Amino acid sequence: DGIAPRGEREFELLGRDSDQLNIAGKRNSLANMNQLLLRIPGVQDGCFFMPTAQEVSHAASSQIQRPCAFVVAPGLDANTIRQQLRQQVDPVFLPRPVWFVDQLPRNSASKLPRAALLALYQQLSTKPPAAEPAPDAHSWYLDPELEVFEGHFPTHPVLPGALLLDWVIDAIQQQ
């Protein structure tokens, strides 16, 4: 557990070291992020998970390490989850990706063992996330974890121009 001295006879309990997130010099805790996630209307259950550098899939290993989220929320999409969280946290803590599951791997005490979350992460990270529906006919949202973004610029993913051009042509033809 982490503590910070507060005067001669007091201290503040900061939480468990394994619960602390430090991304781009900014700090937050998984417990805090989980509470924010669970307050989103429509989220029945959910949690953030931060894999260690050794646990990250090889495809994502060259990218900045980010938390992901496992969410039980029928009827919601990842864009909605991120929009709600964006109102309360720094963007570096937004989950990438958000995976929707039927249930979380809780044990008999209703806890989420890290080993079970890691197994779920490893299972889901082998499947590419799907593109999400766009808010209108002329904009698109793509999960930044899609394989199409890998390649020449690992820290600045680029969508191939041919795909963008195909979408523009399709949008023009639909008018």
- Per DSSP (E only), the strands in 6-138 are 11-15, 20-23, 26-29, 45-49, 68-72, 98-100
**Rounded (10°) CA dihedral 40, 71, 83, 135:** -120
pLDDT of residue 69: 95
Query: Is it true that the peptide bond before 157 is cis, omega within 30 degrees of 0?
Result: no
pTM of the predicted model as reported, rounded to 2 decimal places:
0.64
pLDDT of residue 62: 46
CA–CA distances in Å: residue 146 to residues 14, 20, 52: 35, 27, 20
Q: How many CA atoms lie within 13 A of 70 on its CB side?
A: 22
pLDDT of residue 26: 84
pLDDT of the chain along its 175 residues, tens only?
567 778 888 877 655 556 777 777 788 889 899 999 999 999 999 999 988 877 775 544 445 578 999 999 999 999 899 999 999 988 888 998 999 999 999 999 999 999 999 999 989 987 655 555 444 555 556 666 666 666 655 566 666 666 666 667 766 766 5
